[in-house]
Amino acid sequence: MDDVSFRKRLMAEQQAAGTRIQYNCEKKDAIPIKNGLISLKHRFEKVSNRTADRCKQIKAALNESRAWVEGVDDLKSWLENIESNILKEQCCTNNVDKLRKRLDLIKHVQEDLAVRKHDFDIAYKQGRGLIDHAPRSEVKQISQWNDDLMKRWISVVEKANDTYIITEQGILDSSAFDEYILELESSIDAELSAIGTAESRVAEAELRAKEVALRTVFSKGEKLSAKIPDESHNINKTCSRVKEKWSRLEEAYRASSKAIDDAAKQAAHFDSQLHEVLDWLVEIENKLTASNTDLDQAFSIVENIKVELLNNREKRDSCLQLGREIQARCHPRAEQTLKYWIRVIENRWKEVEERVLERESNLLQQQQQEKEREEALFELLEFVAQKREELNKVLVEALPQDLETMDRVQQSHNDFDSKLREKQAVVDNITKHNRKGKRNAAVGKLSDEWKQLWLDSIGYQTALEGQRELLEEMRRLERWRWESWKEHYVEWNDHRKARVTDLFRRMDRSHTGNVPREFFIDGILASKFPTSRLEMNKVADLFDKGDGLINSKEFIDALRFDRIRELKPLTEHEKVNEEITKQKNACSCCQQFKIEKVADGHYRFGDTQIKRMVRILRSTVMVRVGGGWEALDVFLSKHDPCRTRGRLNIEMFYKDVAPSNAIDTMRAFTKVRHRNTPGRNATSGPVMKVREKTERSIPMFTDRRDTRENQMDLFMECRDSVITPSSRPGSRASGSTADEKSTRMSSVRKIQHDEYSSNN
């Protein structure tokens, strides 16, 4: 610490010198000097703090060691003083007074030893503690000092006890017979009065130790009687009186020992009965809690338990009576324990009886529920049989051939399904209990018949829906016109930049220009054109000459527009609408990004209610954002989840460290709503990358309604078709266009789309 203080003064001088240098040097040199001074100051403070902590630890260890050494030295000096001044003196006198004084002195020494025993224990424990924390070089020395202190203490205690016995023997040998007889007699009287107490066992052990001294006294009395005949009568009388009291004391101890042994046997018997009753109650509880699916067997178990409780009540009463008898005669310190165990037996017996009654009540309730389920089972079997009969009657009948009849039949079948759904909860409840408990053949039969009834009902419902779709399609085709279908097909085909010749080239495997009727229909349907097989049969009927073949040239010629019709140029709003539709269809989210047209040139994007202006500026579709304009594709890349490349939260993880609950799904970006807002559309899992849809992508699911509403979904691109004259006679549909020259396929105008939609 002195070195640290000295260094501290030097460092202060160093700091002052460094500060002066900072004021006088250039700024670029002052910064390193300042940093060096700060670093030096921090390091010095760290060394100073560690030095102070180490000094505190050393002082604490020094104080603890000093206290232990002082305590050991004090005890050793005190023990040496006792040994040198008291215990080493030999008993070389026959003077009774001196012997008594020495005996009192030795008693005082023994009392001092008992008082200083606490100081010895503290010093010894401190030594053991120092051994645990001391360095290895000092452990041996500390352990040796501690052991020496222990040996010295034991030696002094043994010497004090031996000196006390020798001095006492000297008093007996020094004509102190009368006084010792009186003292012995008074101690016997005191012990006679203590017979029967809790300390009597300890007194009995001491009495056995004094029996040797008693025999010595009697031997001394005989010697004195022989030496002094005049006093022999008194001596013999005194010895006889002491012998009589000693005999009474021994008899009392024997009676007390017998009574204690009897009480111990009675207590052991009570303990065995007590635990026997408690163990039996535990077995009864285990029987009650054992799972059993058979109600009759469970009832029999409960009845047997009630009989056992009645039969063992006498054993419980005898145990309680024995406990109360012991409690009436026991020691006050054992009274609370006996009260506790008596209360335990009474409470446990009462608890088990209550559980038996509760179990019986539960079984009765289960029996009632089982009876109710049986009744419900038979009612359901009758209900299923009745509904099966009704369904069989309906299945035998032919499907309706008109929509009015179809409405009535579907309404009737919906009522039939609603009645089945009303009974579904009851059936589930019955079958659930059948799975948990024992198997019931009637329940299994009900489950099978119920499943079959549902399957047949669903199958009939599916057949009705299919028949209804067929009837609706037939009604729609009653107003079917070739011109409308042609315009619609040309528009759809032109938007997808496909050639009809390519379609026929794939279907024409014989390379004759003639395609079988079924191949033609299947090819159009496979191209995802929104139509139906019935409608395609009508188209095929126009080109089929009875040989089941469709000529590709006739079909292509029939698709040509009249060249007299002039193509109307698209307006700016139509071009914007086409681009918006194209970008909307390019979205690959599981829930397509919403783009809603509010008015010409105004759209809503996503879930927001903000209307944004959309215009064509310099051949680019632009969106009004704030006070400026932004390209449509750039705007969608910030708001459409499937276009936000490089900004998805899945990229925050390494390849193999994705969340365990991640789901390959993508939803539209939504604003944070209140958690109690109904209809919240939460995103499960992180946003995942999904490949962006291209113009040639085919959606997994198509909706005819959406397809018809979004006919203007791509930029129109004209394609030329080279048509060669057909060798076959003209068909009904191609009669007006066979002599026309080749021309491009025009894109569908909005008026044509409206006309086709109204016809369909």
Give domain status of residue 658, yes or no. Answer: yes
Evaluate the CA torsion angle 737, 741, 743, 749 in order and state its sign: negative
Cβ atoms of 748 and 708 closer than 8 Å: no
CA atoms within 13 A on the CB side of 535: 22
Long-range contacts of 3-9 (CB under 8 A, 24+ apart): 4/47, 4/48, 4/51, 7/44, 8/44, 8/48
Q: What share of the chain is helix, strand, coil (3-state, %, to 5)?
A: 70, 5, 25
Which of 251-265, 446-460, 725-739 is the least confident region?
A: 725-739
* 684-735 pLDDT, tens digit each: 444 444 444 444 444 444 444 343 333 333 333 333 332 233 334 344 444 4
Containing structural domain, residue 348: 263-371
356 in a domain, yes or no? yes
Determine, yes or no, domain membership for 112: no
- Whether residue 455 has pLDDT greater than 70: yes
Give residue 712's identity as a one-letter amino acid code.
M
Cβ–Cβ < 8 Å for 385, 429: no
Task: Say if 122 falls within a structural domain.
Answer: no
Tell me the CATH number at 754. Answer: 1.10.238
Instruction: Give the per-residue pLDDT at 692.
Output: 45
Do 56 and 14 share a structural domain?
yes
CB 130 within 8 A of CB 64: yes
> By three-state DSSP, how is residue 25 classified?
coil
Length of the chain: 760
| Range 374-397 average pLDDT | 86
Domain termination site, one of 46, 64, 82: 64
pLDDT at 458: 92
Q: pLDDT > 90: what percent of the chain?
A: 4
Q: What is the pTM of this model?
A: 0.35
- Mean pLDDT of the region 151-177: 76
Query: Which residue pairs from 221-224 have beta carbons closer than 8 angstroms and sit at least 24 positions apart in sequence?
Result: 221/177, 221/181, 224/177
Same structural domain, 241 and 279? no
CA distance 360 to 312: 20
Query: Taking 60 as the threshold, does the pLDDT of residue 181 lie above it?
Result: yes
The mean pLDDT value of the chain amounts to 75
In a shared domain, residues 557 and 603: no
Four-residue CA torsion sign, 453, 455, 458, 459: negative
CATH code, 583: 3.30.920.20
Q: Tens of pLDDT along 316-333? A: 888 888 888 888 888 788
Query: In the listed set 259, 276, 303, which residue is the last one of a domain according to the structure?
Result: 259
**pLDDT tier for residue 197 given thresholds of 50, 70 and 90:** low
Number of neighbouring beta carbons within 10 Å of residue 745:
22
Q: How many separate domains does the chain show? A: 5
Residues 226 and 354 in one domain: no
Reported as a single tens digit per residue, the pLDDT across 555-608 is 888 887 654 444 567 788 888 888 888 888 888 888 888 899 998 889 999 888
Over range 418-437, report the average pLDDT: 79
DSSP β-ladder status, 628-631 and 620-625: antiparallel
- What's the one-letter identity of residue 752? Q
pLDDT band at 227, cuts 50/70/90?
low
Question: Do residues 217 and 231 both lie within one domain?
Answer: yes
Instruction: Sort 733 into a burial class: Cβ within 10 Å, 0-12 / 13-18 / 19+.
Output: buried
Find out whether 474 and 403 touch, Cβ atoms under 8 Å.
no
Q: Do 358 and 306 belong together in one domain? A: yes
d(CA 196, CA 198): 7
Least confident of 457-471, 477-491, 614-628, 629-643: 477-491
Whether 535 is in a domain gets the answer yes
Give the whole-angstrom CA distance, residue 70 versus residue 127: 12
**pLDDT (mean) for 732-757:** 38
161 or 291, greater pLDDT: 161
Write down the pLDDT at residue 174. 53
Q: Which runs of consecutive H residues, i.e. helices, occur in 174-294?
A: 177-193, 200-227, 232-289
State the Cα–Cα distance between residues 70 and 741, nearest whole angstrom: 131
Under 8 Å CB-to-CB from 446, ≥6 apart: which residues? 377, 380, 381, 384, 427, 430, 431
pLDDT of the residue at 754: 44
- For residue 168, tell me if it sits in a domain: no
What is the average pLDDT across 103-123? 85
Integer Cα distance of 539 and 500 in angstroms: 15
Residues 604 and 493 in one domain: no
Is residue 582 located within the same domain as residue 696?
Answer: yes
Sequence-distant (6+) residues with CB within 8 A of 331 are 198
Q: Are residues 699 and 587 in the same domain?
A: yes
Q: Is residue 12 situated within a structural domain? A: yes
